[in-house]
Amino acid sequence: MQQSLHRALGYPTRDDWVDEVDRLPIDDEPTGPLPGARGARKTISASPPTRGFRGHHPHRSSLGRCATVQEYPVGDHVPPPRLTPLTWTLAIGLVACVSACRRTSSRVAHRGGSAHWPENSRSAVEGSLASTWAAVGFDVFLTLDRVPVLHAQPFLDPALCRTVGDRPVDEIWLLETSFDALFAGYRCGGVADPRFPDAAVIEDTVVPLDELIFALEAIDPEDRPEIHLTAGFFPNVSHDPQTYAAEVLGRWALSELETPPVIVADLPLTLDAFRQDGHTRGMSVRTTLVWPRLPVAGGETAASLGHALAISMGVEDPVHALDASGADGIRLSPALATRTDSRRVAELADYVELGPVHRTAEIRGFSAWPVDAIVTSDPDQ
């Protein structure tokens, strides 16, 4: 019944296919090579009908089968397939395209690798320098007595820091607190960071920049990673940029470290201050502009929406911002920058970074962008 239905609809049936195959001129017992075959014999193989979406493929024969003509040598040796010049051209072009489209990028450990240890902590300093990471970043602020310390905000983060008596902190600004008071009365890193559940929880004191310098001096120069210091200047809540630069680079100049740190900031005047101070000390300081500038704490969502609107209207542009800042490189925000932005600034900047990025899928996705480095809490990804 099924064959009758197929015949009524105009589709081939199994009997039609068998009859057609029986009429194929197949030589089962060849006595020699066919004319023009040069030592080879030709066989015609027919496969059963292949049913597509509608049971019939327009590019196949009326019987719905694929008849192929293959050549086999008379002997046992089967020669390898021959690649034509066109095949080689297509293969080389494909390899070049894949290499260009999947550009690999290096990694910068964000805040010492905060996916492994508390950010900007003593454990992060020791662990990141003991690793094989090529570049490690930390944040630096000045205390009341102008001591550079590794900290991400101009105040003690209440989500990560406590008093010595394990009481929550509130309104503890570094600009108003001496280093001795910070060292004696507060601890950070002893509270689990919800952003990095697998990171170690280690309570410790705030780390001065001098400890990072001493740790770098103890490492063989060939094994030292490149250090990126994010200098967050905020008017009225931190020291002026000139003081900032003098305290940070002054300590670096007194050390045995030949390579100065890469200074990262979101304000051009901060980068200018570090470049000028480095010039007076005979230090060639590279600078990186963070684009766009977001608030220190709170209001990030509203600020991001405002930046997104300004970017869409052409009011804010990373190329213009980089050119006006005079920075050597730029660090793009993954939340607001586009792949087109990274491609455009690459024509002007010595290097392009993107971050911070923490999720594995995002790290892999952004690694395909035309950027030189991804700033991430886990450089092993």
Q: Write the CA distances from 243 to 145, 147, 274, integer angstroms.
A: 11, 11, 10
281 touches 247 (CB < 8 A)? no
Q: Look at residue 16 in the predicted model and tell me its pLDDT.
A: 55
**pTM value > 0.85:** no
Task: Give the tens place of pLDDT for each residue, 174-188.
Answer: 999 999 999 999 999
240 touches 135 (CB < 8 A)? no
Q: Look at residue 103 in the predicted model and tell me its pLDDT.
A: 43
Q: Look at residue 45 in the predicted model and tell me its pLDDT.
A: 43
Q: Please state the rounded mean pLDDT for residues 86-94.
A: 62
303 touches 262 (CB < 8 A)? no
Write down the CATH number for the domain with range 106-376: 3.20.20.190
Residue for token digits 């008093």? 163
Share of the chain above pLDDT 70, in %: 67
Spatial distance between the Cα atoms of 143 and 175, rounded to a whole number of angstroms: 5
Q: Look at residue 295 in the predicted model and tell me its pLDDT.
A: 63
Q: Name the band, by pLDDT with cuts 50, 70 and 90, for residue 333.
A: very high
Residue 29, pLDDT > 70, answer no
Task: Give the tens place of pLDDT for each residue, 99-124.
Answer: 444 445 899 999 999 999 999 999 99
The structural domains of the chain, with segments of one domain joined by +, span: 2-73, 106-376
Q: Please state the rounded mean pLDDT for residues 276-284.
A: 97
Q: Look at residue 19 in the predicted model and tell me its pLDDT.
A: 53
Spatial distance between the Cα atoms of 161 and 67, rounded to a whole number of angstroms: 76
Range among 42-46, 137-141, 235-239, 334-338 with highest mean pLDDT value: 137-141
What is the identity of the amino acid at 198?
A: D
Range among 41-45, 70-74, 303-307, 318-322 with highest mean pLDDT value: 318-322
Q: Look at residue 232 in the predicted model and tell me its pLDDT.
A: 83
pLDDT, greater one: 305 or 115: 115
Of 250, 242, 161, nearest to 201 by C-alpha is 161
Residue 229, pLDDT > 80, answer yes
Q: Name the band, by pLDDT with cuts 50, 70 and 90, for residue 274.
A: very high
Q: Look at residue 235 in the predicted model and tell me its pLDDT.
A: 84
Q: Please state the rounded mean pLDDT for residues 345-369.
A: 95
Beta-carbon contacts of residue 117 (< 8 Å; ≥ 6 apart): 123, 124, 127, 128, 189, 199, 200, 202
Q: Look at residue 113 in the predicted model and tell me its pLDDT.
A: 97
Please state, rounded to an integer, the average pLDDT across all residues of the chain: 80
Q: Please state the rounded mean pLDDT for residues 313-322.
A: 81
